[in-house]
Amino acid sequence: MTGLCLEKILKSIGIFLSAVSSNRYLIEFLEVGGVLTLLEILGLEKIKEEDKKESIKLLQLIANCGRKYKELICESYGVRSIAEFLAKSKSEETQEEVQVLLDSLVHGNPKYQNQVYKGLIALLPSASPKAQQLSLQTLRTAQSIVEDTHPSIVACVLNVLRTMHLEVQYEAIELIKDLVNYDVCTALLKGLVALLIPPVKETSKLQPKILNDSTVLQLTAHLPVFLQQAAAAKAIGILARSNNRLAGEMLHLRVVHSLMAAMGNTDHSNSQRQASLTLEYFVQMFPVVEEHVRKSMGEELYKLFLSNPEDLYMKIDSIQADILAANEVNITRALNLGGLSNSNMGFYLGPGDQDQQAYATHFQEDVKGKE
């Protein structure tokens, strides 16, 4: 049944299931296939969005009745149906109701919490920005419950950074801040640094269209790979400022070289701006970075950089941009050649930071072990 009739039926069922003594009604509803019917409604194209929203609310009521009811929903292929509906829904209000349901299913449901967790990861490539935003929010909760990370989460989260929607980017960076506390930390940092220098094949995809169409002013401003580059630079800055150990690890991943290369990307001003702001922090925190950046930039460009990193992209000329893009700064080599001994740690990392020194000492031991 569809239309007004279905809406009245679903709301009537909701009244019974939300009553104080609803257990008997709930059992009767489930015995006649209530869960399967509600899930089927979500996948029918001819059903109105408002009716599907009522189905989600009924599923919320059922899930809130306890663990065995959450398991029943999951056993009925509910996670897949609910996740697909979240991705396809055109109503943000309905999508928020779906988020409440998924959050309920991941709590107090040890048997199927991994299924919900994987379903949330599968939603990250969704074409719906709202679905991406809500999935990222719920993933932060799910990750803390599941604890073990899924191998695909790093690539999926990094791909989300291509978004043009700042609210989605914000949630992605918040999740990244959580994920660095898990076993995917190194892979995540390597991925972020790699995004600062996009592959040539990615950056040249729109070039023929731009050259052939004089009406296109700056399509490259919206090229996803450049949006991703800017977001990566921003995320690296946030991580470095929050944790000296992460900043130290990224130094060994040649983050300074990559940040300077991003600063030379004249096709995307926000990449230049975010990279410049992040590089400023590394220069201020690590004397060895300051030394190498000054030498690579030259005195004139370096002074321009220090005077106002945020606006540097508006002041540099094409030659200076090329100097940044083609830089060969290698902080890793300097740190390794220096031996990273405790006696010279003050020179490389700056005085008064025991955490940084402890991290670098640990890294040195790892390097010797591999040799």
The answer to whether 42 and 56 are in contact (CB under 8 A) is yes
Predicted local distance difference test score (pLDDT) of residue 204: 61
pLDDT of residue 200: 73
pLDDT value for 7: 85
Q: Which whole-number Å values give the CA distances from 136 to 17, 58, 123, 124, 146, in the listed order? A: 30, 24, 9, 7, 15
Residue 203: per-residue pLDDT: 64
* Per-residue tokens: 17: 């299931």
> Which DSSP letter does residue 19 get?
S
Residue ranges for the chain with pLDDT beneath 50: 209-211, 214-219, 221, 340-348, 351-371
pLDDT of residue 364: 42
Give the helix/strand (H/E) hosting 230.
Answer: helix 224-242
* pLDDT tens column, 304-338: 999 999 999 999 999 999 999 999 999 988 787 76
Q: Could you tell me if 74 and 112 are in contact, meaning their C-beta atoms sit under 8 angstroms apart?
A: yes
Q: So what's the pLDDT on residue 27?
A: 94
Instruction: Enter the pTM of the model.
Output: 0.86
The pLDDT of residue 201 is: 65
Q: Which pLDDT does position 250 carry in this prediction? A: 96
- Tell me what pLDDT residue 273 has: 97
Portion of the chain with pLDDT greater than 70, in percent = 84
Distance CA(34)–CA(99), nearest Å, equals 21
Which pLDDT score, from 0 to 100, does residue 271 have? Answer: 97
pLDDT score of 3: 52
Residues 237/276, Cβ–Cβ less than 8 Å: no
What are the residues whose beta carbons fall under 8 Å from the beta carbon of 282, sequence distance 6 or more? 240, 247, 251, 255, 256, 259, 289
Q: Supply the pLDDT for residue 301.
A: 97
pLDDT in tens, 27-76: 999 999 999 999 999 999 999 999 999 999 999 999 999 999 999 999 99
Angle at 98 between CA 26 and CA 140, to 5 degrees: 115
- What pLDDT is attached to residue 164? 95
pLDDT at 370: 40
Instruction: Return the closest-CA partner of residue 101 out of 62, 127, 130, 66.
Output: 62
| Gyration radius from the chain CA atoms | 26
Any idea which residue has 């398991």 for tokens?
71
* 52/47 Cα distance (integer angstroms): 7
* CA–CA dist 86, 344 (Å, integer): 55
